[in-house]
Amino acid sequence: MDVALVQGRTAIVTGAAQGIGLEIARVLHAGGASVVLADLDAAAATAAAVALGDRAIGVGADVTDEAAVDSLVARAVEHFGSLDIMVNNAGITRDASLKKMTVDNFDAVITVHLRGTWLGVRAASAVMREQKSGSIVNISSLSGKSGNPGQTNYSAAKAGIVGLTKAAAKELAHHNVRVNSVQPGLIRTAMTEAMPPEVFAEREAAIPMKRAGEPREVANAVLFLASELSSYITGGVLEVGGGRLM
C-alpha cells in the first residue's frame, strides 16, 4: 500500500511485536505515519521498530498496567509531537471448556483485553479530546459476536470491547474523536497456530471464502478506520472474516 493515507500522523499499536499488531504497524508506517510499537516483549517491539526504520520506535509496555499505558501515550506525544491513532490490539487466549477453565484463565483474558483496551482508550482520548481529532481502533473478534465454545472468557472480553467502543464513541464524537472496532475472523498468526490443526481446518472449511485471512487483510481495515477515508464512521464494528458468521 503506497498511498499515504495517514501521512504525518502519529500512531500507537499495542501488541505490535508480532502477528496482526506488527502488520498494523507496518501498514500504518507505509501509509506515512510515525508509529510507536508497544508490546510486553520490549526486545521484539524494538527489533520490529528498527526493521521499519525512521518514524518508528519500540516500547515495552504491559497494557494491563495503568502507569505503563499512560506513559506509553506520553512517550508518543513527547517523541513524535502528537497522538492521532491508537490501536488497542494486544491480546491473549486461555482457551478451555467451562469444566476446565480456572478463574485465573478467566481473569487473565478479561484483564488484557478489556482493562487493557479501556486503559488505552482512556489515555489516548485524553490527548485526542484536547487536540480535537483522533481515531481509536479496538481489535475485537468474531468470537465476541457469536461466542466460541472453549472461549467463554475470550468471547466475553471481545463482546465487551464492542460495548466499550460504542460508549466511548458516543462520549468522544463531539470532540471529533472517532472510536471503532474491528472483528477479525480466523487469521493466520501464532495465536491460531496454537489451535489443534483439525479445529483450524474445520473452522476454515466453514468460511464462505474458504480460507483463513492474512494479518495484512486486518491491517488494511485498520488503516481505513485510522484514516480520513472513514471520517463519518464512529462506533462501528467492521468484520474482517471472509463472510464467516455474517
Active-site residue, selected from the candidate residues 84, 90, 128, 154 = 154
Cα distances (Å, whole numbers) of residue 100 to 93, 103, 109, 154: 14, 10, 15, 15
For ligand NAD, the closer of residues 41 and 70 by Cβ is: 41
Q: Based on the shown chain and the rule CB under 6 A, indicate whether residue 196 belongs to the binding site for ligand NAD.
A: no
Nearest CA-CA partner of 207 in 156, 142, 153, 145: 142
Q: Based on the shown chain and the rule CB under 6 A, indicate whether residue 176 belongs to the binding site for ligand NAD.
A: no
177, 136 in Cβ contact below 8 A?
yes
Helix spans in the chain (H): 19-30, 42-52, 66-80, 103-110, 116-131, 143-146, 152-172, 190-193, 197-205, 215-226
Euclidean distance between CA atoms 70 and 68, whole angstroms: 6
Give the three-class secondary structure for 216. helix
For ligand NAD, the closer of residues 17 and 223 by Cβ is: 17
- Among 6, 9, 15, 118, interactor with ligand NAD by CB under 6 A: 15
Whether 154 is catalytic:
yes
- Which range of residues in 10-18, 46-54, 124-132, 164-172 is near ligand NAD by CB under 6 A? 10-18
- Which range of residues in 118-126, 163-171, 186-194, 231-239 is near ligand NAD by CB under 6 A? 186-194
Q: Based on the shown chain and the rule CB under 6 A, indicate whether residue 217 belongs to the binding site for ligand NAD.
A: no
Task: State CA 12 to chain mean position distance.
Answer: 10
For ligand NAD, the closer of residues 64 and 133 by Cβ is: 64
Upper half-sphere CA count for residue 5 (Cβ side, 13 Å)? 19
229, 5 in Cβ contact below 8 A?
yes
The 128-147 contact track toward ligand NAD, x by CB under 6 A, reads -----------x-x------
- Which range of residues in 58-66, 121-129, 166-174, 196-204 is near ligand NAD by CB under 6 A? 58-66
Q: Based on the shown chain and the rule CB under 6 A, indicate whether residue 41 belongs to the binding site for ligand NAD.
A: yes
Catalytic residues: 154
Residues that bind ligand NAD (CB under 6 A): 14-15, 17-21, 39-41, 61-64, 89-92, 112, 116, 139, 141, 184, 186-187, 189-192
